Amino acid sequence: MNKLVKINSSEDIFPEYRNTPISLLLEYHNLNREYETYSQAELLVGMCMDNRKHLHIPDNFAFIIRSGGANLRYSEFKVSYSIAVGGVKHIALIGHDNCGMVNLLARKDIFINGLVENAGWKIETAEAHFNRFSPLFEIGNELEFVESEAKRLRLQFPKVTIAPMMYKLEDNNLYLLNES
> Is the predicted pLDDT of residue 176 greater than 50, yes or no?
yes
pLDDT single digits (tens) 16-74:
999 999 999 999 999 999 999 999 999 999 999 999 899 999 999 999 999 999 999 99
CATH number for the domain running over 4-101+141-177? 3.40.1050.10
Signed CA dihedral, 100, 58, 156, 132: sign only: positive
Task: Enumerate the domain spans of the chain.
Answer: 4-101+141-177, 103-138
Full-model pTM: 0.93
pLDDT band at 180 (very low <50, low <70, confident <90, very high): low
What is the average pLDDT score of the chain?
A: 95
With CA atoms as reference, report the closest residue to 164 among 82, 96, 117, 112: 96
Mean pLDDT of 123-142: 95
In sequence order, the 6+-apart residues with CB closer than 8 A to the CB of 6 are 12, 173, 175
